[in-house]
Amino acid sequence: MEFRILGPLEAVDGGSPVAVGGPKPRALLAALLLRPGAVVSTDRLVTAVWGATPPRDAIGALRAYVSRLRVALPGERLRWQAPGYALDVAEGELDATAFTQLLGLARERATVADHQRAVDLFDAALALWRGDALVEFDAADIDADGQLARLADLRLSAIQERAEAMLALGRGREVVADLTGLVDHHPDREALSALLMRALYASDRQADALAVYRALRHRLVEELGVEPSDATREVHRKVLEQDPELAPADRAPPSNLPRRGTVLVGRDRAVAQVAGALQTAPLVTLVGVGGVGKTRLAGEVAGRELHRFSDGAWLCELAPLTDGGSVAHAVAVALRLQQRHGATIEQTVVEYLAHRSLLLVLDNCEHVLDAAARLAVSVVAHCPGVVVLATSREPLGVAGEQIWPVPPLPLPAATTLFVQRARATRPDFDPDREPSGTIAEICLRLDGLPLGIELAAARTRAMSAAEIASRLDDGHLLAHGPAPR
């Protein structure tokens, strides 16, 4: 059974409407539904049904309507309890209760700044409204204690808080029309005007935002003799000063890309070129020897291109896998997916990606090459909005793959990297105090490979550069150094 009061009164059983009877039993039902499960006194119910002019035997007539409702509504839900009647409504049967529950969940998300989820929940809550609550009745008769006003107020708050969340998402432009309509209907709600000002400002309509303030202030001063509140004046001041706080930039899409503690050295051109390749090819593989910087380059490119993918950029590390069978599983974990019942993990991943705009980074494919290639092929085939960026010591070798060989660092960048890393272990490291050419020699002997350079530089904590150079052929030198990411 479903009862709907957020609009005209409706009672629905198994999808079809329940005939409750004429206006009088409907008014009785409406009054009971406004206080679900609570006893409503017969006096109040009489007023709900007949208003201020009840007939002589109102109590008897009321009883007849109660019997009629009992027949119409399945189950023993309409019970007598002095001094009146109560209608029992189970969990999920009344739209108004569902509305307040969804609103509560939306507010919870909004307080933890999960604005997107908050907007979704506000939308679900507001979708339950089909018009003004119980519009066909006289509120003064059926609603002695202001439940309808309370519901209308919550609805307005929901729209307002949804707009707040949209503003936080950088989507102020999309709420201007809604807010304009609301301000017209509720000119006294200052908070709505303040929100509209912010939404207009966020849509590059500063002059319109100021006009809203002028209209609001005019009304308040003329009609009530008061100035706008501090909060509204603050918004006005920020509009005048073009305070950047007012128009948050679009939020970055989600991602699990790690934050790097070190700067990227000497790869500006490479980053731009790989980013360019991703615009044209659905699968780009960064190929190169171990330690040349493939993973690092992929991470930088993904961070730079993140804004192009509304569903974000996701790094999936395949290095820890021991066999190819778990590639799809690793991708699902990176994307935080649960395997769909009745589907393989690979199907689950591909179905999920089919309608996303997303950059998938498959890192270190070399030891699970076949499985990674298979997954990449089906993602490319079925997910038009997904771009795959792979790193691997060997190409995946599939159709449509754009191979991008990662070269070693050129000497100037390699020495810069060495000095930076040396200073990370020894802040007073001064390259000019080392014999000239020693650092360059170390970098050359390490073939310009960033991993080797990092390990060698870490040794400056205990050795001079000359000593490091002389011991490069010593297998232990680079074995234990830390490899800062």
Ligand X SMILES: Nc1ncnc2c1ncn2[C@@H]1O[C@H](COP(=O)(O)OP(=O)(O)OP(=O)(O)O)[C@@H](O)[C@H]1O
**Partner interacting with residue 483 (select from ligand X, Mg ion, none; CB below 5-8 Å by kind):** ligand X
**Partner interacting with residue 109 (select from ligand X, Mg ion, none; CB below 5-8 Å by kind):** none
Distance CA 266, CA 371 (A): 33
* 291, 303, 448, 481: residue in contact with ligand X (rule CB under 6 A): 291
**Partner interacting with residue 264 (select from Mg ion, ligand X, none; CB below 5-8 Å by kind):** ligand X
Q: Quick check: helix, strand or coil at residue 460?
A: helix
**Partner interacting with residue 485 (select from Mg ion, ligand X, none; CB below 5-8 Å by kind):** ligand X
Closer Cβ to ligand X, 340 or 461, answer by number: 461
The residues in 232-261 that bind ligand X, with binding defined as CB under 6 A, are: none
Distance CA 277, CA 303 (A): 15
Contact partners, residue 184, CB within 8 Å, separation at least 6: none
* 125, 134, 220, 264: residue in contact with ligand X (rule CB under 6 A): 264
CB of 291 to Mg ion, least distance (A): 8
For 255, which DSSP code? B
- Return the closest-CA partner of residue 236 out of 250, 259, 219, 217: 217
What is the contact mask toward ligand X in residues 455 to 484, using x (rule: CB under 6 A)?
----------------------------xx
Contact partners, residue 38, CB within 8 Å, separation at least 6: 86
Contact partners, residue 207, CB within 8 Å, separation at least 6: none
Closer Cβ to ligand X, 172 or 408, answer by number: 408
Distance CA 137, CA 403 (A): 70
**Partner interacting with residue 25 (select from Mg ion, ligand X, none; CB below 5-8 Å by kind):** none
- Indicate the helix (H) or strand (E) that contains 386: strand 386-392
The residues in 386-405 that bind ligand X, with binding defined as CB under 6 A, are: 391, 393
- The four Cα atoms 216, 218, 219, 221 give a dihedral, to 10 degrees, of 120
Neighbour count for residue 231 (Cβ, 10 Å): 11
Strands (E), 114-255: none
Residue nearest to ligand X (CB): 293
| Euclidean distance between the first and the last CA atom of the chain, given in angstroms as a whole number | 59
Q: Which stretch binds ligand X (CB under 6 A): 143-151, 181-189, 223-231, 450-458?
A: 450-458
**Partner interacting with residue 367 (select from Mg ion, ligand X, none; CB below 5-8 Å by kind):** none
Closer Cβ to ligand X, 79 or 260, answer by number: 260
By the criterion CB under 5 A, which residues form the site for Mg ion? 295, 364
Question: For the residues of 143-171, what is the DSSP string, one character each?
Answer: -TT-HHHHHHHHHHHHHHHHHHHHHHTT-
Closer Cβ to ligand X, 194 or 372, answer by number: 372
- Return the closest-CA partner of residue 166 out of 179, 156, 155: 179
**Partner interacting with residue 291 (select from ligand X, Mg ion, none; CB below 5-8 Å by kind):** ligand X
* 47, 255, 295, 415: residue in contact with ligand X (rule CB under 6 A): 295
């307002």: which residue's tokens?
160
CB of 304 to Mg ion, least distance (A): 18
Closer Cβ to Mg ion, 122 or 404, answer by number: 404
Strands (E), 292-364: 313-317, 358-363
Distances, alpha carbon 141 to alpha carbons 55, 61, 80, 135, 138, in Å: 15, 17, 21, 12, 6
**Partner interacting with residue 266 (select from Mg ion, ligand X, none; CB below 5-8 Å by kind):** ligand X
Distance CA 156, CA 146 (A): 16
How many residues interact with ligand X (rule CB under 6 A)? 23
**Partner interacting with residue 162 (select from Mg ion, ligand X, none; CB below 5-8 Å by kind):** none
CB of 436 to ligand X, least distance (A): 24
- Return the closest-CA partner of residue 103 out of 124, 117, 89: 124
Closer Cβ to ligand X, 1 or 451, answer by number: 451
Distance CA 46, CA 18 (A): 23
Closer Cβ to Mg ion, 295 or 460, answer by number: 295
The residues in 416-435 that bind ligand X, with binding defined as CB under 6 A, are: 417
Distance CA 444, CA 129 (A): 71
Closer Cβ to ligand X, 278 or 297, answer by number: 297
The residues in 308-367 that bind ligand X, with binding defined as CB under 6 A, are: 364
Closer Cβ to ligand X, 305 or 363, answer by number: 363
266 binds ligand X (CB under 6 A): yes
By CB under 6 A, name the binding residues for ligand X.
Answer: 262, 264-267, 288, 290-296, 364, 391, 393, 417, 450-451, 454, 483-485
